[in-house]
Amino acid sequence: MNKLLLHPAAKPLVFVLCLLPFAWLFYGALTDGLGANPAEYLIRATGDWTLRFICIVLAVTPLRVMSGTNALARFRRMLGLFAYFYVVLHLLSYSWFDMGFDVPEIAKDIAKRPFILVGFSAFVLLTPLAATSFNRAIKALGAKRWQALHKLVYVISGLGLLHFFWMRAGKNNFAEVFVYAAIIGLLLGWRVWNFARKKREGGQVPRPITAATRGPVSR
């Protein structure tokens, strides 16, 4: 598996796969295939894909550790940037279709509605992670500060889940919320368990940051 993931074609393939949801939404918009309310569909779909990519990013380290597939780490930066790509699309869709790019009204709406405030807060916190995803930023910040900054992804995942919960609460539809909550709970719970295990074993020498382990989420 490591050999396959280190193949030169692996990254371009993952890039194309990450673009497929966008391509499908774009095609649906062009062909009038997004249902009776395409604006709402686009807002919801881009938000859903943001949360899915956050889950995928959080899954990289547990999968890498449990399977011994260290080459998975080389995709973390790309996956994290796609999470940011879809949250930008989500915000743009809301700003355009719901608010007509009326900035004062958008500001009032964010302040007035808690679920939008929470979602916007997640976007704000995700922005510095995306902005520091390149190698020069890691060098400028230093490994420890960079890793501490990128642990914000845990807060972001919680805010994203809360945003999704409040959005679905209006229609009393919690089935998908429970699925995402279970996934995020398991992924964060694994980190707590792994941290406790390392403490019991007397700690572990930190891994040096290399080109293979850099990404928008450090753990």
Per-residue pLDDT tens for 194-218? 999 988 887 554 454 444 444 444 4
Judge whether 207 lies within some domain.
no
Whether the pLDDT of residue 32 is over 70: the answer is yes
Q: How many domains in the chain?
A: 1
Judge whether 214 lies within some domain.
no
Whether the pLDDT of residue 145 is over 70: the answer is yes
Judge whether 215 lies within some domain.
no
Whether the pLDDT of residue 72 is over 80: the answer is yes
Judge whether 153 lies within some domain.
yes
Judge whether 182 lies within some domain.
yes
Judge whether 120 lies within some domain.
yes
Judge whether 208 lies within some domain.
no
Give the range among 2-6, 48-52, 102-106, 211-215 with minimum mean pLDDT.
Answer: 211-215
- Identity at 196, one-letter amino acid code: A
Structure confidence at residue 114 (pLDDT): 94
- The residue range of the domain holding 63 is 2-200
Structure confidence at residue 29 (pLDDT): 94
Structure confidence at residue 214 (pLDDT): 45
Q: Which residue has the higher pLDDT, 37 or 210?
A: 37
Judge whether 212 lies within some domain.
no
| Nearest CA-CA partner of 73 in 62, 86, 64 | 64
Structure confidence at residue 178 (pLDDT): 96
Structure confidence at residue 172 (pLDDT): 83
Dump pLDDT digits (tens) for 106-134: 999 999 999 999 999 999 999 999 999 99
Structure confidence at residue 78 (pLDDT): 97
Average confidence score pLDDT of the chain: 91
Whether the pLDDT of residue 146 is over 80: the answer is yes
Q: How far apart are CA 131 and CA 141, in angstroms?
A: 12
